């Protein structure tokens, strides 16, 4: 039976619980780009596209010393500027965006970086991601920065299945309070860079193991996972790591808040798929072994009633073999048919009769005349009776 989908309320609770856990794991988060004013942060954010923050921080000191104002960038020598930022990649496009940014700030905003999303997205090289970085870190305006790490982790945590950055921003914004947006962005990025790597996450020491639906994507052995943790917070993260799961490769129980969330553990799934499973007995075979009167009696094999024609051509179903009845009668030491009743008088007798004048039946008679147990063979006749139809010729049987 497939697991029930997670309700929106359960998703909100899980997302906020994960945010609180990340706050414990990363109590001091910040923008990892070095800057001193909004203009420097804007230039550094443009350079960080398709480049690491470490590389950008190696380039910006000399760049910021050479160009100090928006007018400096607007009137910069293109070849010189490209040489400064060549190591960040795509330096020609980035030089165009930086020079256009300086010119737009001089022409429209007096050389100052605007403070609203509506104005920031009109600048060259700016999108919602860059605008949220500027607003959250330079002007303390809450915003969600949807970069590569953020998108990858919210998909892994199943917060949303959307792929458009703007839609992801709005979807996550509905889960987390607005005042936490900027810090959430930093925490998620920190966690993605230090623990939850793209190819091989350190699941064995992850503080979000109980709430992460993708737990088991990476190694869950704490010793092996500890080697994957990076960054200056490594010792702190290993210190607060959850205890070792009960059995390496076993599933861990999530918090139960009204929704079933599947825990995908690839190691366990692969092992279970490789194990041979016994073939279950058919339902009918299991029901045949049930006692009479048990449930599902209608599925038990049907017992053919006496007098119905047998489709296999064996005569009348329920009629006993005369040879078998003769052997049974001999073992019971029963006397022959009393009073010399002929075969023509047995037309109304039970089918249990042999047809040779012996009206004895192995089934006790519930109503009708009974034979006396006195005389020869009387003890052998105790509890036995002769069954005759009321309309049988010859009247009642006497003995």
**Which residues carry out catalysis?**
129, 147
Nearest Cα residue to 93 out of 78, 80, 73, 108: 78
**Residue whose structure tokens are 């194990």:** 275
- How far, in Å, CA of 87 to CA of 59, rounded? 8
C-beta of residue 62 within 8 angstroms of C-beta of residue 44: no
Measured CA to CA, the distance from residue 18 to residue 257 in angstroms comes to: 14
Per the listing, tokens 């009321």 go with: 390
Residue 43 exposed, middle or buried by CB count within 10 Å (0-12, 13-18, 19+): buried
Question: Which 8-state DSSP code applies to residue 176?
Answer: S
What DSSP line would sit under 37-69, residue for residue? SHHHHHHHHHHTTTS-HHHHHHHHHHHHHH--S
**Could you tell me which residues come within 8 angstroms of residue 370 by beta carbon, excluding any fewer than 6 positions away?**
385
Token pair for 110: 């007096």
3-state helix, strand, coil in the chain (%, to 5): 45, 0, 55
Question: Which residue bears the tokens 């990025």?
Answer: 189
Cα Dmax for the chain? 139
Q: How far apart are CA 166 and CA 120, in angstroms?
A: 15
């Amino acid at each position: 039976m497939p697991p029930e989908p997670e309700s929106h309320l359960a998703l909100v609770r899980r997302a906020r619980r994960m945010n609180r856990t990340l706050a414990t794991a990363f109590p001091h988060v910040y923008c990892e780009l070095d800057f001193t004013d909004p203009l420097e942060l804007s230039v550094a954010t443009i350079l960080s596209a398709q480049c690491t923050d470490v590389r950008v921080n190696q380039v910006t000191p000399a760049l910021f010393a050479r160009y100090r104002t928006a007018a400096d960038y607007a009137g910069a020598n293109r070849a010189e500027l490209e040489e400064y930022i060549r190591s960040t990649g795509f330096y020609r496009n980035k030089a165009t965006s930086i020079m256009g940014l300086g010119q737009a700030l001089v022409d429209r905003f007096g050389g100052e970086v605007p403070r609203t999303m509506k104005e920031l997205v009109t600048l060259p090289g700016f999108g919602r991601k860059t605008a949220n970085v500027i607003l959250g870190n330079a002007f303390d305006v809450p915003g969600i920065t949807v970069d590569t790490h953020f998108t990858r982790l919210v998909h892994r945590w199943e917060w949303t299945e959307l792929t458009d950055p703007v839609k992801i921003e709005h979807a996550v914004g509905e889960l987390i309070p607005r005042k936490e947006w900027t810090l959430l962005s930093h925490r998620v990025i920190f966690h993605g860079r230090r623990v939850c790597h793209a190819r091989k996450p350190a699941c064995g020491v992850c503080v979000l193991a109980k709430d992460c639906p993708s737990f088991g994507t990476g190694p869950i052995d704490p010793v092996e996972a500890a080697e994957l943790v990076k960054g200056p917070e490594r010792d702190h993260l290993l210190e607060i790591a959850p205890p070792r799961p009960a059995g390496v490769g076993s599933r861990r129980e999530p918090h139960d808040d009204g929704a079933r969330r599947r825990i995908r553990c690839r190691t366990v799934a692969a092992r279970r798929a490789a194990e041979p499973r016994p073939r279950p007995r058919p339902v009918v075979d299991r029901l045949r072994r049930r006692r009479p009167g048990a449930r599902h009696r209608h599925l038990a094999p049907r017992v053919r009633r006496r007098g119905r024609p047998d489709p296999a051509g064996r005569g009348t179903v329920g009629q006993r073999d005369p040879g078998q009845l003769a052997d049974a009668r001999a073992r019971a030491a029963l006397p022959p048919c009393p009073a010399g009743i002929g075969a023509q008088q047995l037309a109304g007798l039970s089918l249990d009769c042999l047809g040779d004048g012996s009206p004895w039946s192995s089934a006790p008679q519930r109503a009708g005349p009974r034979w006396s147990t006195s005389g020869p063979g009387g003890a052998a006749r105790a509890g036995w009776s002769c069954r005759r139809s009321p309309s049988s010729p010859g009247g009642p049987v006497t003995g």
